[in-house]
Amino acid sequence: MIEVLHPGIHTSIQDMGRMGFQSLGVPIGGAMDQNAMHWANYLLNNPKQCAVLEMSFKGPKLLFHEATTIALTGADMQAKVNGVALQNHKAIQIKENTILEFGIAQQGKRTYLAIAGGIQSPVVLGSRSQYKDITPQTVIGKTKLIPFNKTQINGQKGARLSFTASDWDKKLIPAYKGPDFHLLPKKAQTQLKNNAFTISVKNSRMAYVLEEKLIHQIPSIWTVPVLPGTVQCTPNGTLIVLMRDAQTTGGYPRVLQISDEGLNLLAQKSTKADFQFKIGSV
Amino acid sequence: MENGPPFRFFITHPKVVLLEWDTEPDDALLNRLIEFRKAIKKEFVEVIQITQGYCSLMLFHDKAINTIDRYQTRLNLLYSSLVSFSKKNSKLWRIPVCYSEAWAPDLNALSKSLNMTTDTLIEKHVSVRYRVQFIGFLPGFLYLSGLPKILECARKDQPVSHVAKGSVAIGGKQTGIYPVNSPGGWHLIGKTPYPLFKPQEENPCFAQAGDSIQFEPITRKNYWELEERIKNKTFKIRPE
């Protein structure tokens, strides 16, 4: 068990998401930066679908009741064990009754903590990813216990990833034209292709609202299916980038679709970060 | 055999294809979408999930689609081979709703603005069978068509931050049931004790696209009794 001494700002259990129930209105969910999550599991020889902890901006303070092996990927959150700094991107042995403490993300926004054998929280509709009204809890709360398999201590011996955090400074987010892109006036299309956009304070696991607006007269549309990465344009021109916890349907025109890689990159960007869309073909 | 209205084939993501019909939604299109969806599920093993809108289907694949041309041809062939568009497999669900003031904070104001008594409003609301177009927005939220025209109304100017799970509401040309606690901008006219979404069950939502819904008025006493029976798992609605 891991005991949560302090939950951090937004810490949740995530995996590859909940596929197969969108037709019932259930969001896909899953880790915001799937790439970072995969590497964390990889370092421990975990199967890909193992659940991890996703921490945003400021991480939690955790007490490990039993010994295990962990790996940290994503943003550097100044992890410390008994005051000693830990490195990201390698397998780390944790002794029993150890306190693991995180600070504020230095570069990037989200950090992933994988545990040997994966987190053993309840599986609901094929996934452990926490989501309101689906899983018993929406985020990790104070004093809560997070179960893991204490018998399974593995990890890739001596494995390390060389990783350049500069990936997160990348300003180009790969995207494709959305089904309603062609309805935008030429000027707005050019704006999407050439201008920089800024992430507003309204950003969450569900959606990032952008600060810059487009001028357009696209008529409203009948409610349509959407997916993570869909960029919607509201009647007043506000752009809404749907993220992993996005609803399954939406009523705004879809001007772009961000690629999987683009979504992973955006997941590591915070409020006020700017970027450009790199629009290519599917 | 009639030719169906043409659809647009759009690759929205390497693993996701969108099919869209440029038409107003109606019963005939819904029947066609349901049949097409069923046929795709059967014939295209690579499709792992299909979501639906009023005039669209979205096909999710387990990996990137490589042979787009062949894929599109197969899809067109399948579409033109569809023959039956009956409602034969759709079910009718009667959902108990209590329209008592305690559960209907907006019933009075809405009936006034629609120029009718609350009794007439309730009578009209329970008089028709609504059709489930598709499920979206929230887990278990049914998009229902068929609201009587005289019940159409503007949505609230400001959505309220908390609408209780089970609330039955009218907004614009639509009526619906909030499956979970959520913010909402529709007028609340009643409440059902019956859960629309049960994440712990293998089939979390009893209804599906194409089914019909009829609301059945119940008293407050009925409401409490039903709530108790639902809690004890001695009540389950059955389709007709």
Interface of B with A (CB under 8 A): 8, 10-14, 16, 18, 20, 25, 48-58, 60, 134-141, 143, 179-181, 197, 199-200, 204-205, 209
Nearest to A166 by CA among A99, A265, A97: A265
Which pLDDT does position A150 carry in this prediction?
A: 73
Across the interface, do B140 and A24 touch by the CB < 8 Å criterion?
A: yes
Which amino acid is located at A225 in the chain?
A: P
The sign one gets for the Cα dihedral B109, B113, B114, B115 is: positive
What domains are there in chain A, each with its CATH number?
2-164 (no CATH), 170-280 (2.40.100.10)
- Measure the CA–CA gap between A276 and B145, rounded to whole angstroms: 40
Is residue A164 within 8 angstroms of chain B, CB to CB?
no
Sort strands A274-280 and A172-177 into parallel, antiparallel or unpaired. parallel
- Per-residue confidence (pLDDT) for residue A242, from 0 to 100: 97
pTM of the model: 0.94
CA distance B140 to chain A (A): 6
Give A170's contacts (C-beta < 8 A, 6+ positions apart): A265
Give whole-number Cα distances, B103 to A181, B100, B152, B214, in Å: 43, 6, 20, 18
The vertex-A1 CA angle with A84 and A154, nearest 5°, equals 70
A179 → closest Cβ in B10, B49, B50: B10
Phi, psi angles (nearest 5°) of residue B134: -170, 180
Residue A164 is predicted with a pLDDT of 65
Residues of chain B contacting A257 with CB distance shorter than 8 Å = 12-13
Distance CA B137, CA A225 (A): 10
> Both tokens of residue B104?
């209907």
Using CA coordinates, name the residue in chain B closest to A248.
Answer: B136
Which residues in chain A have their CB less than 8 angstroms from residue B181's CB? 133
Long-range CB contacts for residues A88-92, cutoff 8 Å, separation at least 24:
A88/A163, A89/A39, A89/A43, A89/A160, A89/A161, A89/A162, A89/A163, A90/A43, A90/A159, A90/A160, A90/A161, A91/A43, A91/A44, A91/A155, A91/A156, A91/A157, A91/A159
Q: How far apart are the first and last CA of chain A?
A: 44
Cα gap B20→A126, rounded to integer Å:
29
| Both structure tokens of A279 | 């629009």
How many other C-beta atoms can be found within 10 angstroms of the C-beta atom of residue A141? 10
Contact A241, A250 (CB under 8 A): no
Residues of B in contact with A16 (CB under 8 A): none
End-to-end CA distance of chain B: 30
Q: Which residue of A24, A121, A133, A257 is the best one to mutate when testing the B interface, meaning the one whose CB has the most B CBs within 10 A? A: A24
Q: Which residues of A touch B141 (CB under 8 A)?
A: 25
Of all residues in chain B, the one with the smallest CA distance to A230 is: B12
Of A143, A145, A128, the closest CA to residue A54 belongs to: A128
- May I ask the CATH class of domain B92-231? mainly beta
Which residues does chain B have within 8 Å of residue A133's beta carbon, measured at their own beta carbons? 138-139, 180-181, 197, 199
Q: What is the SS3 assignment for B214? A: strand
A227 CB within 8 Å of a chain B CB: yes
Identical fold for domains B7-81 and B92-231, yes or no, is: no
Determine which of B55, B132, B135 to mutate to test the interface with A (most A C-beta atoms within 10 Å). Answer: B135
Establish if A138 touches chain B: CB-CB under 8 angstroms: no
CA distance A182 to chain B (A): 12
Chain A residue whose CA is closest to B200 = A124
Residues of chain B in contact with residue A178, where contact means CB-CB under 8 angstroms, are 12
Q: What's the confidence (pLDDT) of residue A83?
A: 86
Shortest distance, CA B118 to any CA of chain A (angstroms): 30
Tokens of A143: 């004093």
- Tokens matching residue A164: 């350049």
Question: Class of the B7-81 domain?
Answer: alpha beta
* Chain A nearest CA to B18, separation (Å): 8
CB pairs under 8 A between A and B: 109
User: B25 in helix, strand or coil?
Assistant: coil
Distance from CA of B106 to the nearest CA of A (A): 25
Q: Which pLDDT does position A154 carry in this prediction? A: 60
Q: How far is A26 from chain B (nearest CA, A)?
A: 5
Q: What is the mean pLDDT of each run of 10 residues along chain B (240 residues)?
A: 84 97 92 95 95 97 92 95 77 97 95 97 98 95 96 89 95 93 93 95 93 97 96 91
Beta strands in A65-116 (DSSP E): 68-74, 80-81, 84-85, 91-94, 98-101, 110-115
- pLDDT for the residue numbered A243: 98
Tens place of pLDDT for every residue, chain A, 282 residues?
A: 999 999 999 999 999 999 999 999 999 999 999 999 999 999 999 999 999 999 999 999 999 999 999 999 999 999 999 889 999 999 999 999 999 999 999 989 999 999 999 999 999 999 999 999 999 999 998 778 999 987 655 655 666 777 666 677 789 999 999 999 999 999 999 999 999 999 999 999 999 999 999 999 888 788 999 999 999 999 999 999 999 999 999 989 999 999 999 999 999 999 999 999 999 988
Beta-strand runs (E) in B146-200: 160-163, 167-171, 174-177, 182-184, 187-191
Give the residue on B whose Cα is nearest the Cα of A126: B202
| Average of per-residue pLDDT values in chain B | 93
The 8-class DSSP code of residue B86 comes to -
Task: Output the pLDDT for position A193.
Answer: 97
Closest CA to B7 of B55, B70, B71: B55
| Cα B77 → chain centroid | 29
CB of A220 less than 8 A from some CB of B: no
Q: What is the ipTM of this complex?
A: 0.93
The domain limits of chain B are 7-81, 92-231
**Cβ-defined contact of B12 to A248 (cutoff 8 Å):** no
Which pLDDT score, from 0 to 100, does residue B89 have? Answer: 74
Contact present, A105 and A9 (Cβ < 8 Å): no
